[in-house]
Structure formats: structure tokens, C-alpha cells
Amino acid sequence: MPGGMRLSGMLGIFVCIFVVFLVANVAAGDNTSSAVTTTSGPPKARVDSAEEVLHGHKITDRYRWLEDTESPETKAFVRDQLAYTRSVLDPLPGRDKIHQRLTELLTIGTIGTPQLGGKYIFYIRREGTQNQPVLYVREGVHGKDRVLVDVNKMSADGTEALDWWFASDDGKYVDYGTSPSGSEESTMRIIESATGKLLPDMIERTRFASVAWKKDRSGFYYTRHPKKGEVPPGEEVYHVKIFYHSLGADPAKDALIFGEGRKAQDIPQVQLADDDDRWLLITVFEGWAKSEMYLQDLKAGTAPVEVTTGKEFLYSGEILGGKLYILTNEDAPRYRVFVVDAANPSRENWKEIIPQSDAVLQNANIFGRKILAQYEKNVSSQLNLFELSGKRLGSVLNFRLSDRLRVWAAGGIAAKPFSDSIPSLCRLRSTRLISAPGGLLFGTTWMHRELTRLRTKCGRSGIPPKMEPKSRCSLSTRGVWI
């Protein structure tokens, strides 16, 4: 079941904690503190009396006029308010020290979860001084990293963003979306991995796109938002539908596959079977707590068939060998896994293969024709390996809390069912916090998939036994291959 490519929020929490202690320490240790006085108070906003009736209730909005951001009066108020704010904050003692320390902390880079495509490995990396992350490609595990897409060079102010990206199964092409000035209104482009050459295809309105490449790279299924005028004003961010695009074709003529007549706020996601292009799996999210799954037999040319039954649960799936593997919290708040024949996927035919346990099953991927299951229990992450039948083979790695290792959060697993040119790989994004005097806070480590070697070098806990203690906490980001 595909996992997301979002960066973990754990590091942000730690940085926030650092900031709190840092501000306290700087303030306590600064002997130049003095009372800050201002000659005048904040600007006073004009009081208006805009009224309206909503659901039978009379609402009075005294500051409705401030919603007009283009009016001279609003601009003047914002300017005066900002000037007053600066007059209060700028004289505060210790600001230079805080700024310097935050600059050090925020120059720590980030690395995203690698994705595999044939002989290629793709991942995003942002150095601390870069506004936006860069998409890199590497040919083979020991290949040389090469920049594939660098949005930092696409705008003078550095606000062009790389919103998403999807590699074809063999890695020859990569779909990616960029948007200006934080708008998230993505435009899709396609780039050739070997040469960095852009194809002429360009598709607009691909905000939060989902993409599924055909195995022969002749085209892909994708999600797209409507044009202005196709839906009521203000609803252009809704009404997402699935289309099929053939390389080189006019996107305006792309065939509509799914989404007509559905609720405006439904968000469909699309994926193809791991081993062929017969089955198209469509997962529709209806808010945060419910999703539905549909399966389309592309070989038979029939319409999508609903796999789920409309219950208020979450479902995700992956198809291999004509079987649909389903991860769900249906009647199981800590999640479980079912399997069903793709040719006959109705609910009564589902078979539970991995039952709910006392740990939360956060993710499950087909990996080397096995199921790699990521659990979390007692604030620690666990990876277990299962046969496709559901038979448990054992733990891959356990990351436990200890006196030295205060936090370990594993996430961002990337796995392939099989690969001809690269061994089946997965990657853990981890965050460790080890308190003083051995204080070290660091991100991930890159290694090849040799578990015996990993345990020999790092010990069963994954902590290098000869790690030199640090006098103060420091941060770094790395990645781990296992």
C-alpha cells in the first residue's frame, strides 16, 4: 500500500522545543534587559456595523471592511499596525542571539523518502539555505547523484515549488508538478531521467495530483481539477476527476475515466497493479475518516466496480498477481490486512490475513513478494515481514526506546514488489534524540540491505556503540537503506 512522501513533523516538534528553551536561556542570561516603552498604543481600527442573517441568527461584523485587502484604508491600517509591532519587538534584548541560533538550526537540510524506478533511485533533498527541495536521481545504489528538477532556478524570488512527482515503473520518465508563489496550482511536466530533457506535454490544474504510469510508458492515468466556468464559481479546487493521457496527445482531449457525478469534495487517487496494467485501483477519500475503493478491469473494458460498502472506515490497497491486498481500520481501530481476488472483489469474498494486534499497523507494502508491515507500539516503530498468505516471518528491525535513545520514529517506507536491476529496498526515515551528556539529535542513515552487517556495525538497538558523546545537541539528516 503506497505510503506518502511527506516530511515527518517530529523534527519540527523538537525544533520548537529547542526554540522555547533557547529563548528562555537567552533572556535569562542577558544582563542588558530593560523595560520597553512605546510612545503610543496600537492603531485603532474604525468600527463599522455590517449585519447579516445566517441560519436565522443576526450577525454583526464590526470589522468587515478590513476584509477588503485592496482598499487604501485597510492598507493604511496594516502599515500602522506593523510599524507599532516592530516598535515593540525590535528593542527586545537577546534578539540577535536568538536569530543566530535559529539560523544555525534551520540550516539543517532534509531528505525525502527515495522512490525506485527500474535502475533509477529518485529522492528530494533540501540544503539548509535553499528555499525549495531539489529532485535528485541516482543510477544504481552506488551511482552518482544528479539534479533532475531544481525549482530554485525557476523563479527569481525562490517561491516556485515542487509540489509532487511520480516516476514511471522503469524510471525512464518522471511526472512532476510545480506551482508559483505558494498557490499549489500545479502544472504537470514530464522529464526524461537519463537526459533531463523535458517532453512537450504540459497539463494544467493538477493540484495534489495522483499519477499511475502504464508499464510500457505510453501514457498514464492522473487526476485533474476543472477549468473556470466548468463548475460554480469558487468550486474550482473541488470536482477532481481521473483522466488518461497518452504521451504527445492534446491534454484537452484526454479521456475521462472516473469522477463524473460524484460529490464535489471527493478526492480520488489512482494506481495500477504492480505486475501488469490490467487492474486500475481507484481510492476515493471522503474527508479524513472515510475512503472508498473501486476496481476497474482495463482488459475487459468494464466500468469501475465498488469494492467497499460505503462504511465510515479508511481503506487503501495494492494489487499483485491478480490479488487485491487491503489495509483498513474497518472494525479494527489499529488496522488489519485483507486479501481478495481482483476478479471477484465484493466484501463477502475478503479474507483476513493479518489480524489486528496490540500495535498500530501504520503501513503495509508488498516488498520482494512479501508484505512489509510497519507498526508502532509504545512510541516505538517495528517492521515485520509476512508472506503474502499472512504468515509472519519475523521482525526486520525493532527500534525501542531506552535511556540513551529517547525517540525513534520510523516512517516513509519505499518498497518495490520486485526489481530486476536493483535489489528490493526499503528506506526508513528516522529521528533520534539522545539527551546530554551523550547528546545527539540526528535524522537518518543510508545503508545497503544487509541486516547482519547492519546489526554488527550498529548493535541490536541500531546505535553505533562507539559513538562519541557531544557536549551539546546537534542536528543532521541522513537516510537508511536496509
Q: Which residues of the chain have pLDDT under 70?
A: 1-39, 397-482
pLDDT of residue 19: 45
Residue 453: CB partners within 8 Å, gap ≥ 6?
447
DSSP string, 331-361: T-TT-EEEEEETTS--GGG-EEEE---SSEE
Determine contact, residues 414/115, Cβ cutoff 8 Å.
yes
Q: Name the phi and psi angles at 280, rounded to 5.
A: -110, 120
Determine contact, residues 481/447, Cβ cutoff 8 Å.
yes
Write down how long the chain is.
Answer: 482
In angstroms, how far is CA 213 from the centroid of its own chain? Answer: 19
pLDDT of residue 478: 43
Question: How far is residue 145's CA from residue 149's CA, in Å, rounded to a whole number?
Answer: 12
Q: Return the sign of the alpha-carbon dihedral for residues 151, 154, 159, 161.
A: negative
- CB neighbours (10 Å) of residue 236? 17
Cell numbers at residue 164, please?
A: 509532487
> Is the bond preceding 437 in cis, omega lying within 30 degrees of 0?
yes
Strands (E), 127-172: 134-139, 146-150, 161-167
Question: How far is residue 149's CA from residue 265's CA, in Å, rounded to a whole number?
Answer: 31
What's the pLDDT tens digit per position in 67-111? 999 999 999 999 999 999 999 999 999 999 999 999 888 888 888
4: Cα within 13 Å, side-chain hemisphere: 7
**Residue 230: closest CA among 219, 238, 222:** 238
Q: Which residues are registered as beta bridge partners of 295? A: 281, 305
